[in-house]
């Protein structure tokens, strides 16, 4: 029956659309090629391109001589960067070293793709310093449950320590 | 986030919070986990941690200047951060610390950090074992004595706890947090009964202790 054929046809289209969607989704999570700029023998990538293509966030803190780069759970400070136009360009070498990434260049070093290299957690002095990553902590709440600094990821959080003294 | 850092824990924090009708969530740091991580030597201290997880500000005591600094930071453009927390690395977790202690028995800092977590999780015997080992390696460390004191206090051993707290105070005489903690335990009536702590008494107490030294 033509009706049945039509149904089958519609189903095929839906299935195809779903498969394409899944592929596109998979590709979106994969690292993309990012344009590279070379200056004085050092290769740099732009912060906006990093955010789009590699989900790496770059932030410059006012009054500091470094930028902070974050990729997934890892954040680190970099000093090797340029201000060009309205954009921050960070050195690919500094970026890979700081965040434990590997850089795969292509197209005669005009493009690069970053991949995460699994690494051992490093031991470091946990005490909080201004300008550095805060150490995480988890504490019990007075009315039950716990609270962790990591719960506030993506938000600014003011921490008020006090005693009734 | 509001964190009460009295090592006596919820029993002294709760009445205060109820009396002043505090409605926001309050966390209690009876095991010095936050205190150690953020290096508290006096109270109150305010911190601002930004969306990326970076400590942007540390300010002691409430002040207008501090408020202005906080407002300036809040006006900065905010980064959109995806994924899990950068702070949630394995470093500093219980499993990580246990592994470090096993690999390097002389790592007294890891033993101390482990003792804090064990105290918080209600394992005082294990905490004391770590502290004993840490104290053998580093007999004159303030933090070891302080954490030992809070473990004892949580076990109801008030006098033994006070002895350790006084040892900690003598090792670091300028540490206000430890000094006031001793006063609050020895003289609760000066701290927890009136509308506010008796600051005149605190000044007198300080001059008494100074003349003693």
Query: How confident is the model over B81-92, as pLDDT tens digits?
Result: 665 554 444 556
Confidence of residue A15 (pLDDT cuts 50, 70, 90): low
Contacts of A152 in chain B (CB under 8 A): 1, 49
C-beta of residue B113 within 8 angstroms of C-beta of residue B36: yes
Query: Any CB–CB contact under 8 A between B57 and chain A?
Result: yes
Radius of gyration over every alpha carbon of chain B, rounded to an integer in angstroms: 19
Element (H, E) at A112: strand A111-116
Point out the residue among A121, A136, A142 whose CB comes nearest to the CB of B10. Answer: A142
Model confidence at A120: pLDDT above 60: no
The list of chain B residues with pLDDT below 50 reads 86-89
- The rounded mean pLDDT for chain A is 79
Residue A155 carries which DSSP code?
Answer: S
Point out the residue among A55, A75, A140 whose CB comes nearest to the CB of B86. Answer: A75
Ranges A4-13, A14-23, A123-132, B170-179, most confident: B170-179
pTM above 0.80, yes or no: no
CA B174/CA B6 separation, integer angstroms: 18
Confidence of residue A158 (pLDDT cuts 50, 70, 90): very high
Confidence of residue A17 (pLDDT cuts 50, 70, 90): low
Model confidence at A160: pLDDT above 70: yes
Point out the residue among B17, B52, B96 whose CB comes nearest to the CB of A59. Answer: B52
Pull the structure tokens for residue B202.
């605190």
Cβ pair B14:A142 closer than 8 A: yes
* pLDDT score for B82: 61
Point out the residue among B36, B43, B47 whose CB comes nearest to the CB of A162. Answer: B43
Query: Any CB–CB contact under 8 A between B55 and chain A?
Result: yes
Chain segment A86-115, per-residue pLDDT in tens: 889 999 999 988 888 889 999 888 999 988
* pLDDT score for A136: 85
* pLDDT score for B135: 96
Shortest Cα–Cα distance, A83 to chain B (Å): 17
CA B41/CA B44 separation, integer angstroms: 9
CA B59/CA A1 separation, integer angstroms: 78
Confidence of residue A69 (pLDDT cuts 50, 70, 90): confident
CA B111/CA B91 separation, integer angstroms: 14
* pLDDT score for A91: 94
How big is chain A, counted in residues?
165
Model confidence at A10: pLDDT above 60: yes
* pLDDT score for B197: 82
Query: Any CB–CB contact under 8 A between B186 and chain A?
Result: no
C-beta of residue B85 within 8 angstroms of C-beta of residue A150: yes
Shortest Cα–Cα distance, A69 to chain B (Å): 9
Model confidence at A144: pLDDT above 60: yes
The ipTM is: 0.82
Contacts of A124 in chain B (CB under 8 A): 91
């Amino acid at each position: 029956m033509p009706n049945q054929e039509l149904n089958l046809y519609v189903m095929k289209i839906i299935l195809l659309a779903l498969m394409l969607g899944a592929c596109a989704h998979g590709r979106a999570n994969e690292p993309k090629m990012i344009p590279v700029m070379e200056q004085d023998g050092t290769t740099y990538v732009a912060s906006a391109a990093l955010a789009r293509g590699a989900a790496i966030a770059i932030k410059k803190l006012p009054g500091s001589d470094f930028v902070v780069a974050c990729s997934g759970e890892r954040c680190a400070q970099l000093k090797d960067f340029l201000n060009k136009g309205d954009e921050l360009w960070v050195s690919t070498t500094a970026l890979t070293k700081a965040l434990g990434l590997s850089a795969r260049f292509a197209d005669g070093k005009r493009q690069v793709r970053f991949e995460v290299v699994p690494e051992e957690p490093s031991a470091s002095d946990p005490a909080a310093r201004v300008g550095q990553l805060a150490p995480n902590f988890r504490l019990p709440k007075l009315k039950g449950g716990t609270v962790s600094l990591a719960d506030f990821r993506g938000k600014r959080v003011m921490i008020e320590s006090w005693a009734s003294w | 986030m509001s964190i009460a850092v009295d090592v006596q824990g919820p029993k002294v924090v709760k009445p205060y919070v109820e009396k002043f009708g505090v409605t926001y969530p309050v966390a209690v740091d009876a095991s010095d986990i936050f205190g150690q991580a953020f290096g508290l030597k006096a109270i109150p201290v305010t911190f601002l941690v930004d969306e990326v997880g970076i400590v942007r500000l540390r300010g002691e005591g409430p002040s207008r200047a501090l408020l202005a600094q906080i407002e300036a930071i809040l006006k900065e453009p905010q980064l959109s951060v995806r994924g899990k927390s950068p702070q949630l690395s394995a470093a500093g977790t219980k499993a990580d610390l246990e592994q470090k202690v096993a690999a390097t028995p002389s790592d007294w800092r890891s033993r101390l950090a482990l003792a804090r977590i064990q105290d918080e999780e209600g394992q005082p015997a294990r905490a004391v074992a770590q502290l004993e080992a840490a104290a053998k390696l580093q007999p004159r460390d303030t933090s070891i004595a302080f954490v030992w004191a809070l473990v004892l206090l949580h076990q109801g051993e008030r006098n033994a706890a006070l002895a350790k707290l006084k040892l900690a105070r003598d090792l670091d005489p300028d540490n206000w947090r430890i000094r006031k903690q001793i006063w609050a335990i020895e003289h609760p009536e000066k701290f927890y009964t009136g509308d506010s702590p008796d600051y005149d008494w605190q000044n007198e107490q300080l001059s008494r202790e100074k003349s003693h030294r």
